[in-house]
Amino acid sequence: MVRSAGNGKARSGPRTLFDKLWADHVVVERPSGDALLWIDRHFVHEGSFHAFNQLKARGGRVAEPGLTFGVADHYVPTRDRDHVGNPEIARMIDDLDANTARHGIELFGMRDPRQGIVHVVGPEQGLTLPGLTMVCGDSHTSTHGAFGAYAFGIGASEVAHVLMTQTLWQKKPRRMRITIDGTPIAGVGAKDFILSIIAAIGADGARGHAVEYAGAAVRSLSMAGRMTMCNMSIEAGARCGMIAPDETTFRWIEGRPFAPKGALLEQAAESWRRLPSDADAEFDREISLDASRIAPVVTWGTSPEDALPIDGTVPDPSREADEGRAAAIRDALAYMGLSAGQKLSGIAIDRVFIGSCTNARIEDLRAAASVLAGRKAKVPGLVSPGSAQVKRQAEEEGLDRIFVEAGLDWVESGCSMCVGMNGDSVPAGERCASTTNRNFRGRQGPGARTHLMSPAMAAAAAVAGSLADVRPMLEGRS
């Protein structure tokens, strides 16, 4: 169900979660409606060297080094870290070390025991908190919205602006609420929810909106599941995705290294409880889904919106009334090497990848391991945990042994095969069952063919050697 209301302008009276966060961070507002926002947290990574170069060229300093945090994740190798073979990558890693040291910025570097993917490290270290504004030169910064933060990705010039001023000019987006009620069936989770949403509204369906996820099915998700949903909000064109903080959020935050402690945590939680959208708050657009009607989902094309239940078939462009959409389907099928009407279940794959800022937390690895335990993969694969901390915990739980015994490679943490910048990639023409967030042409390597799915579904594909429904493989397993 979709309905529209209002024109996106500021409202008096009941306010949404987003309205509250926006109002709390406006420094000054132009007559045009653009606002200068205070930024509470800023993450930088190896790719942020352009912004530091701008800073250096202007003779500037970082305005608030205590609010900026460096993380080595995009380019770091997941193997043989004692010798980074690519000199360009080695230079970028060294530049991050030097830039953060020069400006007094806390760094989770390549050899730091806290290292990992920025959108995994921030939450697990307690840097991600409700009510904050958070930015990073990475589009999937929307992940942090799972805690009730306003988090979004920015470009290199904006990174430089935040470094120098701790502020950023922004145009206020409209508000969208996506409500998921009902009880999901076994084998269905957050990745299936968000892929179903993107398939329903399209890759541009949330453009210009701040999306809030609500409903009983969303509330029942773990923080890992909530982060998965907010992470992929950007794939629907949203400016950000967010979920109102609740007791699940507070329990997750408690005890994290950078989180408030004791009385300060209790005081913070009191203010966080006032953040959820007011009961009568209006949204510019509302969408609702029934979780019980969502099956395990996989993508078939070259956009996250090209997603269908695993028991579906590849679309037939000749049945599309819209010629533009029909042409897009034809192009996608040609690239992916698929035929109209072909069953999704049974499409042979060449490898699997379990990792990325979308699905590499301990809960994701447990889900994959629950399918792989006692089974062998028919294809090679790579498992890259989201952080060094996740890796240690997985090894303590014996998950690494399950992956290795199944025939998959267990490597260090980093963005890895998601973006193919560090040597982990899918060879041209090969088909990969992947837990990542994007299936664009060449995303995982030139000519790579990517099918997005949940960790459990990727594990099922590894066992079957093809796209497969995980539900039968879960029978009799907890």
- The residues, any chain, with a CB within 8 Å of residue 161's CB and separated by 6 or more, are 167, 168, 169
Residue 86 has pLDDT above 50, yes or no: yes
Residue 60 has pLDDT above 70, yes or no: yes
Of residues 13 and 170, the one with the higher pLDDT is 170
Model pLDDT, residue 12: 65
- The residues, any chain, with a CB within 8 Å of residue 94's CB and separated by 6 or more, are none
Position of tokens 């508000």? 175
Give me the sheet containing 26-29, strands edge to edge: 26-29, 35-38, 167-170
Mean pLDDT to the nearest integer, 61-86:
93
Express each pLDDT in 221-260 by its tens digit: 999 999 999 999 999 999 999 999 999 999 999 999 999 9
Q: CA-to-CA distance for 304 and 299, rounded, in angstroms? A: 7
Mean pLDDT to the nearest integer, 157-183:
97
Of residues 445 and 85, the one with the higher pLDDT is 445
Query: 295-474 — its CATH code?
Result: 3.30.499.10
278 burial via Cβ count (<10 Å: 0-12, 13-18, 19+): middle
For residues 240 and 45, the answer to whether their CB atoms sit within 8 Å is no
DSSP-derived letter for residue 79 is S
For residues 125 and 106, the answer to whether their CB atoms sit within 8 Å is no
Model pLDDT, residue 54: 94
* Fold agreement between 2-9+172-292 and 35-170: no
Query: What's the pTM value of the predicted model, to 2 decimals?
Result: 0.95
Instruction: Provide the β-strand partners of residue 181.
Output: 290
Q: CA-to-CA distance for 459 and 371, rounded, in angstroms? A: 6
User: From start to end of 221-370, where are the E strands?
Assistant: 240-242, 285-290, 297-299, 307-309, 351-354
Query: What does the domain layout of the chain look like in residue ranges?
Result: 2-9+172-292, 35-170, 295-474
Q: CA-to-CA distance for 347 and 103, rounded, in angstroms? A: 51
Q: Is the CATH number 3.40.1060.10 carried by domain 2-9+172-292?
A: yes
- The residues, any chain, with a CB within 8 Å of residue 396's CB and separated by 6 or more, are none
Q: Report the chain's mean pLDDT, rounded to a whole number.
A: 95
Mean pLDDT to the nearest integer, 375-382:
98
Q: CA-to-CA distance for 433 and 428, rounded, in angstroms? A: 14
Position of tokens 């909106």? 209
Angle between helices 388-396 and 399-406 (to 10 degrees): 80
Position of tokens 């205070």? 38
Model pLDDT, residue 93: 94
Model pLDDT, residue 84: 86
CATH class of 35-170: alpha beta
Residue 5 has pLDDT above 70, yes or no: no
Model pLDDT, residue 476: 84
Model pLDDT, residue 32: 84
Give me the sheet containing 106-108, strands edge to edge: 106-108, 68-71, 41-44, 133-136, 150-153
pLDDT bucket at 478, cuts 50 / 70 / 90: low
